[in-house]
Structure 1
């Protein structure tokens, strides 16, 4: 049996998600990937990661990554405002792209990525929605939800608590350097303001709207994307509440029989280190819930819980664990297969645009439009 093709990876962004998640996973998947270059605005961050993970080259220039002849795929792990520029540049350089969610913060910028992918005519874009690749979601959860004849209600909750609490106990020993070049903060603000202007095109951009946009790009992108794959695109948004640091919404859906049902979305970040992220779907005689633990601590199982009325009219509870394999490992294995074997990318740029479309529906409901 032949050895799998190794994909040569160039990484842009050496911050938390790189140090705590992707670099450790890529190291464990050494038979599928080799990281050849890493870039960060902080030279100290980049050189630290290069030394720790045995990466041959570090740089502070993103162009060094996407123009390198030793790179097949560019991982974009930067903050949101840089995603579109770097994704488009990488595609123009004939590189595949793995961009961490969200793809961007505005529909317009996402469409520019989609257009660049079409123009590239070969390189592909994969968006990092790892929860949708977790074995317990792909197998047990979707299988159990499919057996509900009439969905009556669903709830999406994501109360993540303080990430720092989990990261500090993850065993990854992240470093956070601040040797940023002059003007970096101003450039970031300018980029964000440009995206906000697009997200709220032709409307006033308030501080509350900026916070709403950033929040949906962080936790919201996990939840809305997972909701879409499970139940499809909502008919409409019935109402929203944006009260930092908690946000909620009610979506209108229709089940297989064409009957209306509601989905409650609730999310927020407080100071309690209890990671409560789940999606629950309710039928007449069955409830199915998938519970996600913090992704910053490896080895925590993703459990599917089923409560149902059995054939004896008894209440029955089952817990299903499809695999101990973490969602990021499953995701990057799927990414490798998509690039090397031509598999369809379910979390494509076109797919990710649907999240931004839902965000826009939520913004307009918040604004009373």
Structure 2
């Protein structure tokens, strides 16, 4: 990562000790002592702070964000707070001359992105790093070796894409909310699977499934929604839920999809049945000869503690699946990504047998009885994805965040058309 040019070991100040941070981020960072040093950790919960400090040997803990933002021994601020706090604390860190890593999305607001870019320029005068402070948007799935080296290469090898499916249906990953000193309820779930929201602060009940509320500051979140939609009349309960979804796990999915396929030609048939969401994307595969294909996106939360998450691409003779189980609802911290390639075996392979499928062509078994599918698996761990964060030039910067934001805007604009709320100069 480009930040390593300034210092061999990045000294981290972390905002938010959520369950996601404790089970995913902190173990991965702690496992890379030659890349990162955990200098100071912030959270509103003293119990979370004490537990994390003891487990990960963190030098200092605090319940004040300013202790992190103004700490002279911090090179990089890792902003793991809920996404309505991304802009505020990212700007404060940049203006203090510090690098910032923030979980995707950086922001869902075009104006917010402009303000962050302005803060980057302003922070140059206070920064001790050559070129000034930089913003890095964390999206571990896009840095995992099995994605960058296996999935993308297999995708490029297809003569044609016929169909694609992206799914992210997961069980709950919930940490108890705590109360901060300024009265805002902060649970630090920046990347959790709590997707159902109400501005009145209540929980949402869907049949037998109760989804905990994750709005941290209703005033701040309402301001962000106004920034996104531009008109308070359009801030319906569905748009609130959809915005929260795209501000949490949905943004990770879409960022991965955009790097894999680019921008869709069109977005269609958005369905919001909070806390489940689906959409249809129409693409043109023009890598060799132009062919249209459709991608179905489906996501949501239920009460089953598992992660059914993948991106699958179907070609004529090959199916490529990228499976990912982090953030993992079990909280085990053992999240991983796998690329699974399934393709039809050649007649020669069937006759000779396939070790991968457990067959033995030399034992007299008829090749007809053997499996007709050759299956190859490549695996990457969360730690490997984070190590790539520290070794490569960051591709997920503010320019990349703008590209993610453009895709989100396409989705919002289609939903406006679908609901008949597109506004013209005449109203």
| Shorter-chain TM band | 0.7 to 0.9
Cα distance change, pair 273–204 in 1 and its aligned pair in 2 (3 A): same
- Note the C-alpha offset of 1:83: 0.6
Structure 1 stretches lacking a partner, 5+ long: 165-174
- Note the C-alpha offset of 1:47: 4.0
Q: In 2, distance between residues paired with 1:346 and 1:18?
A: 22
Number of equivalent positions: 348
Q: In 2, distance between residues paired with 1:209 and 1:62?
A: 30
Task: Tell me whether 1:238 sits opposite 2:268 in the alignment.
Answer: yes
Q: In 1, distance between residues paired with 2:24 and 2:337?
A: 17
Q: In 1, distance between residues paired with 2:313 and 2:343?
A: 12
Q: In 2, distance between residues paired with 1:126 and 1:84?
A: 13
- Note the C-alpha offset of 1:44: 4.1
Structure number with larger C-alpha Rg: 2
Cα distance change, pair 52–322 in 1 and its aligned pair in 2 (3 A): closer
Equivalence for 2:385: 331
- Note the C-alpha offset of 1:176: 4.5
Select which of 136, 141, 144 maps to 1:131. Answer: 141
Cα distance change, pair 176–247 in 1 and its aligned pair in 2 (3 A): closer
Tell me the TM-score normalized by structure 2.
0.76
Q: In 2, distance between residues paired with 1:43 and 1:21?
A: 20
Structure 1 stretch 21-30 or stretch 221-230: which is displaced more? 21-30
Tell me the TM-score normalized by structure 1.
0.87
Task: Tell me whether 1:221 sits opposite 2:251 in the alignment.
Answer: yes
Equivalence for 1:181: 181
For residue 321 of structure 1, give the secondary structure of its aligned residue in structure 2: strand
- Note the C-alpha offset of 1:316: 2.5
Equivalence for 1:167: none
CA contact (8 A) 2:143 2:386 kept: no
Equivalence for 1:312: 347
RMSD: 2.3
Task: Tell me whether 1:142 sits opposite 2:191 in the alignment.
Answer: no
Equivalence for 1:353: 402
Structure 2 stretches lacking a partner, 5+ long: 1-6, 125-130, 186-200, 202-215, 351-371, 423-427
Cα distance change, pair 24–299 in 1 and its aligned pair in 2 (3 A): closer
CA contact (8 A) 2:280 2:297 kept: yes
Equivalence for 2:281: 251
Task: Tell me whether 1:281 sits opposite 2:335 in the alignment.
Answer: no
Structure 1 stretch 239-248 or stretch 175-184: which is displaced more? 175-184
